[in-house]
Structure 1
Amino acid sequence: MQKIIKVVCRLLLGFMFCAFSTVLALKSNLGLSPWDVFHQGISNKTGLTIGQVSILVGIIVVGITVLLKLEIGLGTIANMIIIGFFTDIIINTGIIQTSTNLFTGVLMLIGSLFCMAIGSYLYIGCELGCGPRDGLMVALVKITGKSVVLIRSCIEISVLVIGWLLGGTVGLGTLITVFGVGSCVQLVFKIFKFDVGKVNHKNIKDGFLFFNKCVNS
């Protein structure tokens, strides 16, 4: 039982860091992240809300990672639900105020990148499945053997360009995210000596078996 508590706490802490990252970026007032530019662009063309587009894109990305032979686990499903829940809580508490100047906005955005990197390290390390977008990064790192910074940056740039072409809003914060997120993720992984290419995620069935074994041991 103690092992389950430890894994669940690490998973939730990772999701909490990811939620803080989202809110910090939003409140920095410097522009949308590449993925949100992508979501907004599709929203503009389809009439769907950004939230609806985000869910649909998540489902499609999960499908792609399955085709790339990356296991989808309980953490993948939890990621799509819990991060959004935590994000709403943080926004509603009002503990993070909207930036009113460039300096604090940039600091908040940099903080956002490191929060995302730490959150990714924590929950990916649970080996219960990546979130849709991190899962795509992990799958491509394993297939290509290239660095996290290169793969993450290529993904971010790709969705940014498509989103911009579809009418998404691009700002200074967007560019900082594009060129900074990969480096921040790789730096955090290096500090914690975490090799994402060696992570062996449990699929949904194995996840239930893992928890059941912990309870009965």
Structure 2
Amino acid sequence: MSRTTPDPAPVVLLDLGPVAQLRAGRLGRRLVQLFLGLLVYGLSLALMVEGALGVAPWDVMHLAITRYVPLTLGQVVIVASFVVLLAWIPLREKPGLGTVANAFVVGLSTDAALAVLPTPDSLTLRIAFVVLGVVLNAVATAFYIGAQLGRGPRDGLMTGLARRTGASLRLVRTSLEVSVVAAGLALGGRLGAEVGAGTVLYALAIGPLAQAFLPWALVHLPAPDPVEVGIDG
């Protein structure tokens, strides 16, 4: 008799308020996973910046803003996160500990990684930095979403707009990322180093990769009201 590999457990994210998120169980594991994911997320962004072959779409705008204000990239990421959170109010998104932690930790870890990462001196190393950055970003996304402690500011903007407009998550995500890249270019973003092959790779790969990693990172919690996973690029 042939043996078959059992299907992985379904990916079920819970629609919980901030207090219910903390009471849902397995909090120690979830907190460690959340902060590890956010730290790695910041590292992944820094790798793409140092690779200088194109950064993540939102970072095109973030880097452009740094030319006009006396702030580091990480500090701009933090400020922009809280600006995005203002849009959650009319969208009635539910924040959580992970939402606030995302706003701070990703920015701080991005700056910390940029301070210690070497600048690659060959094209091969630059490509390696960018590819590693995209893969680590997907792993980090799966980790912090799988902790089920609240969406990140930009994730919540995406899911909130999709719910309010009735548009697909794919369409809303694409529209947001095209918009922030366009804004970054309008503010002086550089083709090649900031908008380049790495940006395209990120846009094409991050959704499928994060979706693939999420079943292994998801902390299963017994609670009602599952919601659609909003990372499928």
The TM-score bracket by the shorter chain reads 0.7 to 0.9
Q: 1:146: which partner in 2?
A: 168
> Quick one: distance in 2 between partners of 1:170 and 1:108?
18
> Quick one: distance in 1 between partners of 2:107 and 2:204?
25
| Paired AA for residue 153 in structure 2 | P
Distance 1:34 1:182, change over 3 A: closer
Q: 2:192: which partner in 1?
A: 171
Q: Structure 2 unaligned runs (5+)? A: 1-22, 219-225
> Quick one: distance in 1 between partners of 2:109 and 2:201?
24
Contact map agreement 1:18 1:120 (CA 8 A) in 2: yes
> Quick one: distance in 2 between partners of 1:90 and 1:163?
22
Contact map agreement 1:156 1:178 (CA 8 A) in 2: no
List per-residue Cα deviations over 1:9-47 (Å, max 9, x = no partner): 1101211220220121122133444323313434445x4
> Quick one: distance in 2 between partners of 1:197 and 1:110?
30
| Paired AA for residue 50 in structure 2 | K
| Paired AA for residue 136 in structure 1 | L
Q: Structure 1 unaligned runs (5+)? A: 201-217
Q: 2:59: which partner in 1?
A: 36
Q: 1:120: which partner in 2?
A: 141
Identity %, equivalent residues: 28
Structure 1 residue 49 corresponds to structure 2 residue 79: no
Q: 1:198: which partner in 2?
A: 228
Distance 1:170 1:50, change over 3 A: farther
> Quick one: distance in 1 between partners of 2:59 and 2:72?
8
Contact map agreement 1:73 1:129 (CA 8 A) in 2: yes
Distance 1:13 1:42, change over 3 A: closer
Q: 1:204: which partner in 2?
A: none
Q: 2:177: which partner in 1?
A: 156
Q: 1:75: which partner in 2?
A: 98
> Quick one: distance in 2 between partners of 1:173 and 1:197?
34
> Quick one: distance in 2 between partners of 1:39 and 1:192?
27
Question: How many aligned residue pairs are there?
Answer: 196
Distance 1:152 1:75, change over 3 A: same
List per-residue Cα deviations over 1:164-183 (Å, max 9, x = no partner): 11222232552334323233
> Quick one: distance in 2 between partners of 1:87 and 1:53?
11
Partner of residue 98 from structure 1, selected from 104, 112, 119: 119
Q: 1:214: which partner in 2?
A: none
Distance 1:34 1:199, change over 3 A: closer
Contact map agreement 1:157 1:178 (CA 8 A) in 2: no
Partner of residue 59 from structure 1, selected from 56, 78, 82: 82
Distance 1:113 1:197, change over 3 A: farther
Structure 1 residue 4 corresponds to structure 2 residue 27: yes
Structure with the larger helix share: 1
CA root-mean-square deviation: 3.1
Structure 1: which 4+ aligned runs deviate by more than 6 Å?
none
Secondary structure (helix, strand or coil) at the match of 1:174 reads: coil
List per-residue Cα deviations over 1:52-110 (Å, max 9, x = no partner): 54333222211113322221111111112222333344344x3x422212222122112
